[in-house]
Chains A and B, each alone.
Chain A
Amino acid sequence: MRSAPLVSRKVRQAFVLWAAPLLFIGWFFYQPLLAIFKLVLQITLADGFTANLALRVGRPLLFTFWQAGLSTLLTFVVGVPAAYVFARFDFRGKRVLRVLTTLPFILPTVVAAAGFNALLGPRGWLNLGLMFLFNLSEPPVQVLNTLGAILIAHVFYNTSVYIRVVGSAWAQFDQRLEDAARVLGASRWRALREVTLPLLAPSILAATLLVFLFDFTSFGVVLLLGGPRFATLEVEIYIQAMNLFNLPLAGLLSAIQMLCTLLLTVAHARLNGGAAQLSPRVRGSDVRKASSLGERVLVVAVIITVLVLLVSPLAALGLRSFTRMEAERGERGEVKTGLTLAYYRELFVNRRQSLFYVPPIEAVRNSLIYAAATVVISLTLGFLAAYALRLRLRINRLLDPLLMLPLGASAVTLGLGFILVFNRPPFSAQNFPLLMPIAHSLVALPFVIRTLQPALASIPTSLRSAAAVLGASPSRVWREVDMPIMARAALVGAVFSFTISLGEFGATSFLARPEYPTIPVAVFRFISQPGAMNYGQALAMSTLLLAVCALSILVMEQVRLPGVDEF
């Protein structure tokens, strides 16, 4: 008799919690998506469907899985040890290094490609160094336009997902469990395998799913670094929709891509179902300096790997923005080489009096506004959804994958959907300034949910009950039990939604407003024209983007530092 009202209260709770996230995602994601698919269906019925299925569907599908699998594996191999080192060990420069590892995430791919080119290109540092050392006349390393370039770039982009998501879980992991296993006679390896990893499994799985989906829907990296012989589903969708106007085929491809995302998400939920509970620790008392030789080797190896894979392309980019890069000038006198601030100075000059000149300060401001709005939107909705998911209702199993789908949706398709649906007031891009951060939040939200969820699940009910029994109100329980445990995960979510917004993504080019240019918009304007000054300014603007992002993340981490010893 007593249980009936209890259930209905749970349902009521679920209803309240789900309302905002579902309305949001329904209106801003499923509505445009359904609109575009409806149109595609109409066109298909009217014009018929023509496509070489093996060539246009089979080949990209196979390649997409192949490269995403390989990329995720490599990212895992680099990312998990790095997460461990960042979570457990203290070393000099750790905070800065962690911020640096997050920066690749914000880079527009055209800029990342420039960074890789400065490093690995035919006249990149690596080749120049090798040619100098071994007296070669031809560049020995040909990485660009190979599968290798795609893999390296994916590791570059996504390692931070492991460092942040798994790292934050690892930092909260109760070291005493492992110690107990050791005391009971388990080897270090066995303790890791049988105690630590199973307990970390939810966050490792979540990070792997996120990384795989990012690789799976990869567009710019494959297009710019992989070259023309490789095409993922997303690349093929872009070609079919934008250049060949074959909407039926583009529609079919994006339906396949989303179906795969859905299956992966469901599989992930199944795998995650039986995961053990992680008992949280708020104080990072287990962070220490590496002591044994093995530990020191591990820490150094991780630092070097991170520096080479993640930081060096950024450094190459930054350095190039201060370096004169004039082409060979033949008979026109000697070329001045050396360092210069010319590209930065030129950013502030509207040399051609163009109506579309982008003042750097304004671009930085606009980018920061959009990013801050994205953080607020996706954290608010993410918290609601994470709590709703905690309620162990059957409907959750259905709703969870629906929330993840934006990660796997084709940006091109979604962008076209935006055009169809959001083209008149009050929701047109022209008079609804929030549309841009909302679009960014669609991609950021699954991320935030995936980082909050494991943290929330780790809070033992006993802890809450104890607080309640001792007289704490529900809101006080939330503030003093939930929040301290979730703060770390919330920060991870905030950093990622911030960076996702700063870097922008494909669908938003349809929503951009020339009067509010962002930093990536400015970068594209420069890099799409010839001339040393244009290229230099594109790199200078990108470096500015990196600096702004690094500063913002440092500030975000700083704000919540008091009270939490080590983060």
Chain B
Amino acid sequence: MNKKRSTLKILLVLAGLLMGCAAPQAGQPVQPVEEAPASTEPAALTVMTHDSFSVSEGIIARFEEENNVKISFVKSGDTGAALNRAILSKDAPLADVFYGVDNTFLSRALEVDLFEAYPSPLLEKIPAEFKPDADSRVLPVDFGDVCINYDKQYFKDKNLALPQSLQDLTKLEYRGLLAVENPATSSPGLAFLLATVAEFGEEGYLDFWKELRDNDLLVVNDWETAYYTNFSASTGKGAQPMIVSYGSSPAVEVVYAEQPLDDSPTASLVGGGMCFRQIEFVGILKGAKNRALAEKFIDYMLDVPFQEDMPLQMFVYPVNPEANLPEVFLKYSQIPDRPAVLSPEEISAGREKWIEAWDEVVLR
């Protein structure tokens, strides 16, 4: 008897838990219709983005108040996953606005005609280098550079000069000191491969990678492993004093230090052509339910308050030159003078064959 009761009991307890907790969930639908005053019911705007998206509460609250709108965010994995989601749900769009497609994936989004053109009045403030799409189907929001981060202490202790160019990395004195991510599985890994293609051309980049491999290059699959396992300057205290990360990472090290730091333990190598610039775009999805509000939100994203909020939320740079950078960015984050650039069309045409050729040369 006891056994039977107790088994029933678990089921009841679990069912109770479920009911008790499901109720408040059901009570908070995407649009809080009931809670709003009957006269001015807020409109709904849905923004689809990737997991790394972040913004201050106040910034969103202000937009919601000014426009009597409730914004909900749909997030789904990394950039590739989020874009896949947008493409697969194209015929019945899940959102009005999509933010987070970058220049390495841009062609793919434009090929399938994901976005409606919107020539925002704020576009004219943004430098031409950030605007690859003349039709304004996508609008640039922020940029960041994928650069090699190095362990300042290591180079100081060993009295080692810093590599000044990609070619320098193949020198004997840097043997076994560099870890990169696999371009097939990692976004910074792909960006770094693209930098080498831009620097050495389609004919020369594989030779460079052969030399790197002979110089004991280490390849890992993801940024987390490279940074936290292999990087000697991170908490993992790994074996490599140079890894592929972001130009802003040294600033993030300071912001998220466990004890206050007066200097960053890392810095970036920003020599000519060593970094690859990633630009992130926003666009209005074809078939958006609320185009007017979507336009307003995009204008808001390109305007100064939002642009100034981004650096410390997502550790990227604003594209609007009127936005001021936070001090920690000015001090510890470096912008390369001459980042490597490839057009979205070149990337789209070459990505797959470059990755496959790279795989054969470096990994096999």
Query: A-side interface residues toward B, CB under 8 Å?
Result: 39, 52, 55, 110, 113-114, 117, 121-123, 139, 144-145, 223-224, 227-229, 235, 238-239, 241-246, 324-332, 336, 340, 342-343, 352-356, 365, 368-369, 372-373, 375-376, 379, 415-416, 419-420, 423-424, 428, 430-431, 433-434, 479-480, 483-484, 487, 490, 494, 509-510, 512-516, 524-525, 527-536, 556, 559-564
A243 — which chain B residues lie within 8 A by C-beta? 80, 184-185, 190
Q: A433-B25, A527-B228 are in contact. Are A483 and B258 (CB under 8 A)?
A: no
Stretch at the interface among B4-12, B164-172, B207-215, B337-345: B4-12
A122 — which chain B residues lie within 8 A by C-beta? 229-230, 237-239
Our pick among B60, B80, B223, B258 for the contact of A342 (Cβ within 8 Å) is B258
A245 — which chain B residues lie within 8 A by C-beta? 84, 108
Stretch at the interface among B14-22, B116-124, B275-283, B296-304: B14-22
The 30 listed contacts between A and B (C-beta, < 8 Å) are A113-B225, A122-B229, A122-B237, A223-B222, A224-B222, A239-B184, A243-B190, A244-B184, A246-B352, A326-B257, A328-B232, A328-B265, A332-B263, A352-B313, A353-B58, A372-B14, A375-B14, A480-B4, A484-B4, A509-B51, A509-B81, A513-B74, A516-B25, A525-B51, A529-B315, A530-B253, A532-B256, A532-B258, A560-B3, A562-B2
Q: A340-B258, A369-B18 are in contact. Are A556 and B92 (CB under 8 A)?
A: no
Within the complex, the shortest CB–CB distance from B224 to chain A, in Å, comes to 6
Q: Is B126 an interface residue (CB 8 A)?
A: no
Q: For chains A and B in complex, what number of residue pairs have CB atoms within 8 angstroms? A: 260
Please indicate which of the listed interface residues A145, A369, A530, A559 has the most CB atoms of chain B within 10 Å of its own CB. Answer: A530
Stretch at the interface among B26-34, B129-137, B195-203, B285-293: B26-34
Q: Is B227 an interface residue (CB 8 A)?
A: yes
Q: Is B66 an interface residue (CB 8 A)?
A: no
Q: Is B206 an interface residue (CB 8 A)?
A: no
Q: A245-B108, A354-B57 are in contact. Are A532 and B235 (CB under 8 A)?
A: yes
Q: A123-B238, A534-B256 are in contact. Are A527 and B185 (CB under 8 A)?
A: no
A331 — which chain B residues lie within 8 A by C-beta? 156, 263
User: When the two chains form their complex, are residues B258 and A563 in contact, meaning their CB atoms are under 8 A apart?
Assistant: no
Our pick among A355, A420, A490, A512 for the contact of B89 (Cβ within 8 Å) is A420
Who on chain A is nearest to B76 by CB?
A510
User: When the two chains form their complex, are residues A530 and B73 in contact, meaning their CB atoms are under 8 A apart?
Assistant: no
Please indicate which of the listed interface residues A139, A340, A353 has the most CB atoms of chain B within 10 Å of its own CB. Answer: A353
The complex places the Cα of A242 from the Cα of B72 at a distance, in Å, of: 24
A509 — which chain B residues lie within 8 A by C-beta? 51, 76-77, 81
B312 — which chain A residues lie within 8 A by C-beta? 352
User: When the two chains form their complex, are residues B94 and A428 in contact, meaning their CB atoms are under 8 A apart?
Assistant: yes
The complex places the Cα of A127 from the Cα of B258 at a distance, in Å, of: 25
B230 — which chain A residues lie within 8 A by C-beta? 122
Our pick among B78, B224, B351 for the contact of A527 (Cβ within 8 Å) is B224
Please indicate which of the listed interface residues B30, B184, B262 has the most CB atoms of chain A within 10 Å of its own CB. Answer: B184
Q: A122-B238, A139-B239 are in contact. Are A239 and B185 (CB under 8 A)?
A: yes
Who on chain A is nearest to B49 by CB?
A514
Who on chain B is nearest to A231 by CB?
B184
A530 — which chain B residues lie within 8 A by C-beta? 227, 234, 245, 249, 252-253, 256
Q: Is B221 an interface residue (CB 8 A)?
A: yes
Q: A332-B263, A529-B256, A563-B2 are in contact. Are A433 and B26 (CB under 8 A)?
A: yes
Q: Is B54 an interface residue (CB 8 A)?
A: yes
A510 — which chain B residues lie within 8 A by C-beta? 76-77, 81, 85
Within the complex, the shortest CB–CB distance from B274 to chain A, in Å, comes to 19
Who on chain A is nearest to B149 by CB?
A530
User: When the two chains form their complex, are residues B228 and A535 in contact, meaning their CB atoms are under 8 A apart?
Assistant: yes
B156 — which chain A residues lie within 8 A by C-beta? 330-331
The complex places the Cα of A387 from the Cα of B183 at a distance, in Å, of: 49
User: When the two chains form their complex, are residues A242 and B84 in contact, meaning their CB atoms are under 8 A apart?
Assistant: yes
Q: A117-B229, A352-B312, A379-B11 are in contact. Are A419 and B85 (CB under 8 A)?
A: yes
Q: Is B52 an interface residue (CB 8 A)?
A: yes
B229 — which chain A residues lie within 8 A by C-beta? 113, 117, 121-122, 144
A423 — which chain B residues lie within 8 A by C-beta? 89, 92, 94
For window 252-270 of chain B, which residues contact chain A by CB distance below 8 Å?
252-253, 255-259, 261-263, 265-266
A375 — which chain B residues lie within 8 A by C-beta? 14
Within the complex, the shortest CB–CB distance from A446 to chain B, in Å, comes to 20
The complex places the Cα of A336 from the Cα of B259 at a distance, in Å, of: 9
Who on chain A is nearest to B252 by CB?
A530
Our pick among B18, B77, B92 for the contact of A373 (Cβ within 8 Å) is B18
Who on chain A is nearest to B52 by CB?
A528
The complex places the Cα of A121 from the Cα of B240 at a distance, in Å, of: 13
The complex places the Cα of A515 from the Cα of B28 at a distance, in Å, of: 10
User: When the two chains form their complex, are residues B352 and A244 in contact, meaning their CB atoms are under 8 A apart?
Assistant: yes
B2 — which chain A residues lie within 8 A by C-beta? 562-563
Who on chain B is nearest to A431 by CB?
B29
Within the complex, the shortest CB–CB distance from A65 to chain B, in Å, comes to 20
Our pick among A227, A352, A430, A536 for the contact of B219 (Cβ within 8 Å) is A227
Within the complex, the shortest CB–CB distance from A85 to chain B, in Å, comes to 25
User: When the two chains form their complex, are residues B235 and A325 in contact, meaning their CB atoms are under 8 A apart?
Assistant: yes
Q: Is B220 an interface residue (CB 8 A)?
A: yes
User: When the two chains form their complex, are residues B233 and A327 in contact, meaning their CB atoms are under 8 A apart?
Assistant: yes
For window 25-68 of chain B, which residues contact chain A by CB distance below 8 Å?
25-26, 28-30, 51-60
The complex places the Cα of A524 from the Cα of B222 at a distance, in Å, of: 13
User: When the two chains form their complex, are residues A224 and B221 in contact, meaning their CB atoms are under 8 A apart?
Assistant: yes
User: When the two chains form their complex, are residues A326 and B184 in contact, meaning their CB atoms are under 8 A apart?
Assistant: no
User: When the two chains form their complex, are residues B92 and A224 in contact, meaning their CB atoms are under 8 A apart?
Assistant: no
Who on chain A is nearest to B360 by CB?
A55
User: When the two chains form their complex, are residues B6 and A563 in contact, meaning their CB atoms are under 8 A apart?
Assistant: yes
Within the complex, the shortest CB–CB distance from A107 to chain B, in Å, comes to 14
User: When the two chains form their complex, are residues B257 and A531 in contact, meaning their CB atoms are under 8 A apart?
Assistant: yes
User: When the two chains form their complex, are residues B17 and A368 in contact, meaning their CB atoms are under 8 A apart?
Assistant: yes
User: When the two chains form their complex, are residues A228 and B220 in contact, meaning their CB atoms are under 8 A apart?
Assistant: yes
The complex places the Cα of A261 from the Cα of B271 at a distance, in Å, of: 51
The complex places the Cα of A19 from the Cα of B10 at a distance, in Å, of: 25
Please indicate which of the listed interface residues B15, B92, B222 has the most CB atoms of chain A within 10 Å of its own CB. Answer: B222
A379 — which chain B residues lie within 8 A by C-beta? 11
A242 — which chain B residues lie within 8 A by C-beta? 77-78, 80-81, 84
Q: A224-B225, A239-B184, A352-B313 are in contact. Are A326 and B72 (CB under 8 A)?
A: no
Within the complex, the shortest CB–CB distance from A329 to chain B, in Å, comes to 6
Q: A369-B17, A529-B315 are in contact. Are A556 and B258 (CB under 8 A)?
A: no
Who on chain B is nearest to A527 by CB?
B224
For window 292-339 of chain B, which residues contact chain A by CB distance below 8 Å?
312-313, 315
A229 — which chain B residues lie within 8 A by C-beta? 363
Within the complex, the shortest CB–CB distance from A176 to chain B, in Å, comes to 22
A494 — which chain B residues lie within 8 A by C-beta? 10
Q: Is B13 an interface residue (CB 8 A)?
A: yes
User: When the two chains form their complex, are residues B182 and A228 in contact, meaning their CB atoms are under 8 A apart?
Assistant: yes
Please indicate which of the listed interface residues B29, B84, B253, B262 has the most CB atoms of chain A within 10 Å of its own CB. Answer: B84
Q: Is B236 an interface residue (CB 8 A)?
A: yes
User: When the two chains form their complex, are residues B258 and A533 in contact, meaning their CB atoms are under 8 A apart?
Assistant: yes
Further pairs besides A241-B84, A242-B77: 14, Cβ < 8 Å: A39-B88, A122-B229, A228-B363, A239-B185, A246-B352, A330-B263, A331-B263, A332-B262, A434-B22, A514-B75, A515-B28, A529-B252, A529-B315, A532-B235
